Amino acid sequence: MQTKLTIDVQYASPAIENVINQAASATLIKKWLKATTTHHGMLTLRFVNAAEGKKLNLGFRKKDYATNVLTFPYEFSKNTVLADIIVCVPVIQKEAKEQHKTLKAHLAHLIVHGCLHAQGHDHEAKQEAQKMEALEVKILKKLGFANPYLA
């Protein structure tokens, strides 16, 4: 059975689009999302600057800073996923540098992470975090990336 997953990739500005395109094409990014879900539905992936990331984090989570990835799941069922995933490019650039990772590898990890959130996975409790991290590692390995949790 073929999954019907529509993916919309958006960029807050041409500068943000340029940074992301240097790390990964929209086609590759869509491949990462499709590898992370077998559900039908629609995922919107939006790459933003720090100002937009901070505004969204404050408005929806009451946290006054830009964070790396935000997921807004609107629907998730046995067969359907509908969500927005927001990636704050300056934050992930800084994190990749601090963690000695390529932007491409960190981007893939956070896209997989956000997509798993859209499907109901969470990491608030230790057991949930271990399950979600193991799933991320498995998916990233299939995509050709190393375990992002290793030092």
Question: Quick one: tokens of 118?
Answer: 């859209």
Task: Determine the pLDDT at residue 90.
Answer: 98
DSSP per position, the chain: ----EEEEEEESSHHHHHHHHHH--HHHHHHHHHHH---EEEEEEEEE-HHHHHHHHHHHH---S--SEEEEEEEE-SSEEEEEEEEEHHHHHHHHHHTT--HHHHHHHHHHHHHHHHTT---SSHHHHHHHHHHHHHHHHHTT---TT--
Whether residue 142 contacts residue 36, with contact meaning beta carbons closer than 8 Å, is answered with: no
Question: Quick one: tokens of 47?
Answer: 């790459």
Task: Determine the pLDDT at residue 142.
Answer: 97
CATH code linked to domain 5-142: 3.40.390.30
Domain ranges (residues) in the chain:
5-142
pLDDT at 22 over 70: yes
Distance (Å, rounded) from C-alpha 54 to C-alpha 69?
11
77 band by pLDDT with thresholds 50, 70 and 90: confident
Whole-model pTM: value is 0.93
Mean pLDDT taken over the chain = 94
Task: Determine the pLDDT at residue 151.
Answer: 59
